[in-house]
Amino acid sequence: MAESLVSLALFLSLLFSCLASSSMGAKPISSLIRKKLFDTMFLHKDDNACPAKNFYPYKAFIRAAKTFPKFGTTGSLSTRKREIAAFLAQISHETTGGWATAPDGPFAWGLCFKEEINPQSNYCDSTNKQWPCFPGKSYHGRGPIQLSWNYNYGPAGKALGFDGLRNPEIVANNSVIAFKSALWFWMTETRGTLSCHNVMVGKYVPTEADIAANRTAGYGLVTNIINGGLECGIPNDPRVNDRIGFFKRYTNLFNVTTGPDLDCAFQKPL
């Protein structure tokens, strides 16, 4: 009986130890990116020159991230930092207000815009019957990732609790939903394991078609997922270089390496 009690006590001790270790390993991303670092990355987002002034506060980003508990909490410390840097770099390019000779450099002007300027269309794919466009609505780029098209607004709204087809404007009117929409796109898997998140944390498993198309895991593949149809398969594309420039600045601030395959110049677009 005494031996059984000792064994039980040992088992419980090991169990609590494992649980404690698990909890320690799942610290929130606010422990990795504090407000001071966030503000250093986005030096000019609240300047008068930026149309999105005061729309992207740190608290909204942290609050939105809680909806996606695997974001920035998966893998080693370096992997976690690299994923956060990659996400922030991509949304910085999508919303940049920088230029070559901008104060503090072109990569200090992320999150300057919250809505696409002068959209060329209403981004309605009328052939998509699952997510039909609502009359009079435009599905142009909004929010940090510049969410576009009815087939993205519809499922994003369903996942996040808003009507993306009837009220797409909320992505440019609500800071938390704006960040959530970007994180939804980042985390959502398509074609098996393909997602920005899985690529950055090492969980992407390329298909035979991916291998044939040279779609190797790295920051370049994230660019391919986000806008590969327009930017990938083009050597030295300035838009891709801009994305890489933000990523290099942010990984330097995080004191981590960028990892391999930064561009998608020789990848077939998705």
**Catalytic residue IDs:** 94
Q: Which two tokens stand for residue 48?
A: 């008068």
Alpha helices in 66-207 (DSSP H): 77-94, 150-160, 175-187, 196-201
> What is the spatial distance between Cα 196 and Cα 213, in angstroms, rounded to a whole number?
17
Q: What is the dihedral of CA 245, 261, 68, 33, to 10 degrees?
A: -40
Residues 6+ away with beta carbon under 8 Å from 40 = 253
Residues 6+ away with beta carbon under 8 Å from 177 = 64, 143, 160, 162, 170, 171
> What is the spatial distance between Cα 157 and Cα 181, in angstroms, rounded to a whole number?
8
Q: What is the DSSP letter of 30?
A: G
Short-list 241, 231, 250, CA closest to 110? 250
Q: What is the DSSP letter of 25?
A: H
